[in-house]
A and B are shown apart, each in its own frame.
Chain A
Amino acid sequence: MRSKTLLLIASLLAAMSLLVACGPTPTMTPVEVTRLVQGTPIVVTATPVPVVKEKAPDVLGILPRSETLIAAQLTGRVGTPDDFNEWVGWKWRDRGMQQLMNEPLWSVDFATGKIINGLADGDPIYNEDFTQVTIPLRKGVTWSDGEPFTAADVVFTVETLMKYEGFNAHSFFVENVESVSAPDDYTVVFKLKQPNSRFHTTFLDRWGSTWIMPKHIFEKVDDPVKFQFNPPVGTGPYKLHSYDPAGYWTVWERREDWDKSPTGIMFGEPKPKYIVFQAFANEGAKILAQLTHQLDAVDLSADGLKAALAQGKTNRAYQPTFPWVVNNDPCITGLTFNTAKAPYDNPEVRWALLLAIDIVEYEAQAVDGTATMSPVHIPSLGPYPDYYIKPMQDWLKEFTLDLGNGETFKPYDPEAPARLAEYAKSRGYVVPDDPAFIAQAFGYGWYKYAPDVAEKLLIKNGFSRDADGKWRLPDGKPWRIEVISRSDMSHLEYKNAAAAVQQWKKFGIDAVHIPSDNVSSLTQYGEYDVSGNWPAFEPWGAGADLYRVLDVFNSAYVKPIGEMTQGHTSRWSSPEMDDVLKRLRETDPTDTEQVVAVGTEGLKILVQNMPGIPTFGYIGFVSWDEYYWTNWPGAENPYTQPYTHWGPFKYMTPFLQPTGN
């Protein structure tokens, strides 16, 4: 038995040695890279791997590899490969539909902080009481079958969506639209049933929007809900070439008339002739595919990115140096309390749990210190530090908790990012001392690690410790916190939950992490204590408007436990937040000053009540292979957002450069 085991180990070691021997050995020569940090060029030391020439296998068969870009599909294998009717149910639209086939009216580009006009020719124009909105449309656009795109397509789309219950957006348009008309071929006018200053955002692509239907196709269909829309027709720069009936790949071909798409009109000819979205069922296969130049762009886990960078001769990450990751994704991660359930219905208990977290240890465990922390419920990236986080510093510093017995505590810690930078240095990463770099990479502040203060808050609320130092609830029963999250270990929900459990265990609470594939049901029905769900809804990523961040806390959406909530899964609301929302609804979204003033009030209310703990901004582990394609929008040149699964990927395609391999 022993010899058998030894033989097994030896065989595995031999296989691994073979791999290491055959795998590429990167030359880690430090080179200087200039980066722009908030407009100031600073030099950092990076160790990009050298570009080498080697023969790559021509794996594509009938497609010329040098003219083809291959990207991994984020949401995996397409379950409905024959069906491109993305107005009904879930159709794996990141198979290329939203990135290449469709043009929305507008797109969010979080890297530049801009809203890009697609099919629209400018901003929406609301009347004074927000009951009417006029949208100008771009001229010169045609569908991929040559038919001109006009306002009639928009009117038809909205009227069709309102007519059939099976469409996802049916309820939205029925609730909001009184009528829609086209005074001319390039103008659409919506009359709304009630004032809605954010109505137009249904057409704003932020990983999805209401797409426009080609009227000349859908008007001939008997049942547009069951219509498969195959082959699909769009206004984007690419058209469908072929797809795998088993759902593993979809191939898109550049339109011959690409100059009739908004992408072509604005940015010129997309460079790849073909773009493939390929699904992989495991991360190991993604890495192997990239190392063999069969995959140009992929989102990996933290460990996956490290492996790809270490082994790939032509791989690069978003940032050429530590922390490598995409850290401008408009999303705040963290923890969410079920505020409909005791003791998490008590804001002082929630604050106590926050103060029991050492954010440096927490981030170290969760993401090896690579993410940007945020003390408020929006990420510390893009336009948000300037609009909100920096102006809120004084308020945050003065924010005070009442510990009882006349004792108070100011929890804010503007030095937390510097502590995280020290941790990164201790790990051997090159971290410039420039405060601007530290603020951009690690944030502007978080909260103090104050377990003693957490203890006082809990004791004030009737909690106690037993003889072993373990916390007990006010009724004397042991305090057990179940923190649920997705089961995917690389997901930041999982990492937040796992890190929180370690912190709370250290504090003396019986905390357990329960990964579940059923987390969306459990959280929407309120059957949990704490979850790794984002503590607030993601902001647009462009502009100052926080309506979508705050609106989910509307008291009208809160449901009792056991019923599916319409709003945030924390089930938290307050009259103060309702008032903020009312005022925000009455504010023109383009009136930045007013939007920021009201939005700041909303953020302060969230800090005071802490229905969820914001920890750090979402980070993406993008790995690009530069064997076939270069000029990716990395941190040194973020001309557009860096993901291939977001809609504005189409705006990246004209800037990518073939290497000639």
Chain B
Amino acid sequence: MAFIRRYLIPRLIQYVLVIFLGVTAVFIIPRLTPTDPIAHTIAQIRSQGAYLDPATVDQFIQDLKELYGLEGSMWDQYVALWRRLFRGDFGVSFFQFPTPVSVLVGRALPWTVGLLLTTTVMSWVLGNIIGGLAGYFSRKRWAQALDFTAMVIRPLPYYIFAFTLLLLLGYVVRLFPIAGGAEIGRRPEFSWPYIKSVLWHSFLPALSLTILGGTMWFQTMKLIVQNVNAESFVQYAKLGGVKESIIVSKYVIRNAMLPQVTALGLALGQIFSGALITEIVFSYPGLGTLLYNAVITGDYNLIMGITILSIVAITTAILALDLLYPLFDPRVRYR
């Protein structure tokens, strides 16, 4: 009972409060910018010199306000937002009217989750294993070579690195496609040719994220392991004749993993913000460009839909870490 009263309930209250404040902020902030979704819609309809009779623009603006639900005071719109959210309705996208926000997010989400979940986990696992070994055996030549390679790759701006991969493997060697998430002309279906096509198209984006992400995990894990390795309890175990495999797994890696687990939790929560630059370099589908375009066009509902998803994901990840941390770290106890 003490666990629920002293540990769980305060964290759940904090969880709900953060989400409430986050939703309120994403309601207010876009409305404080000078971006007007109606102005953007009209500008787009008039793009490339297409004609919209100026005499009827005023009435068109009124029609759009009604359709977009932008009539009434800010408070009315805020109350309407919470009513909609409790029904699980994010409203319709303005710029992609009348497509519901949930449809747009639902369409982009599998691409983002598929790519980022895989690459985040893969780079975390590989980076930590290799980094752990390189940290423990830091005097070996192979460890130093890996460290040097990571030092070269890690400072590269992601855009440059990703585009270089695209150049080398998409243009020079021509092994992988230059753009898109799946083969042109192939309709989505649960079949091997379609899955193969998706995997083939996702290879370069995934490779770019895994390599750069992996070097980051590698470097942090290596440094942590080197530090832990120098701790007196490890030295004492070595002097005490404890087997090296036990020292590595139980003494060093277990302690070194704690901050990495925390970081993984947060990284997984951030998946829902999308990978904007990856999507731009590889013309890959996902939430990143959807959110970017929503911000540019003042698509309040879509901004809120994606951001709320991200807020919920990150706060949930933090809550989960709070609750699970005692399992990883015996020094932490539920108060």
Contacts and interface: CB of A to CB of B under 8 A. Distances in A.
Interface of A: 4, 7-8, 11-12, 15, 18-19, 22, 57, 59-63, 70, 74-75, 77, 79-83, 88-90, 165-166, 168, 170-172, 174-175, 201-202, 206-209, 225-226, 241-242, 244-249, 251, 274, 276, 278-282, 284-285, 288-289, 291-292, 294, 330-331, 517-518, 520-522, 524-525, 527, 537-538, 548, 551-552, 554, 556-557, 564, 566-567, 645-646
B180 A244 contact: yes
Nearest to A527: B34
Nearest to A83: B99
Contacts, number: 226
Given A246-B111, A281-B281, A285-B179, A171 B188 contact: no
B54 A89 contact: no
Nearest to B185: A63
A19 B152 contact: no
Interface in B6-30: none
26 contacts: A11-B152, A61-B184, A62-B186, A79-B293, A80-B99, A90-B44, A90-B96, A165-B63, A168-B60, A225-B98, A246-B181, A278-B179, A280-B283, A281-B282, A288-B166, A292-B174, A518-B35, A518-B298, A520-B43, A527-B34, A538-B49, A548-B51, A557-B54, A564-B42, A564-B57, A567-B54
Interface in B163-194: 163-164, 166-168, 170-172, 174, 177-188
Given A89-B41, A524-B39, A244 B164 contact: no
Contacts of B184: 59-61, 63, 70, 244, 249, 251, 276, 278
Interface residues of B, number: 79
B169 to A, nearest CB: 11
B195 interface: no
Nearest to A164: B63
B42 to A, nearest CB: 7
B185 A566 contact: no
Contacts of A175: 53, 55-56, 59
B321 to A, nearest CB: 32
Of the listed residues A75, A244, A276, the one surrounded by the most CB atoms of chain B closer than 10 A to its CB is A244
Interface of B: 33-36, 38-45, 47-61, 63, 66-67, 93, 95-99, 104, 107-108, 111, 151-152, 155-156, 160, 163-164, 166-168, 170-172, 174, 177-188, 197, 279-285, 289-290, 293, 296, 298
A566 B54 contact: yes
Given A22-B172, A226-B98, A292 B178 contact: yes
A527 B180 CA distance: 38
B167 A524 contact: no
B63 A170 contact: yes
A171 B60 contact: yes
Contact of B185 (A226, A251, A331, A645): A251
Nearest to B302: A79
B63 A245 contact: no
A510 B186 CA distance: 55
A276 B167 contact: no
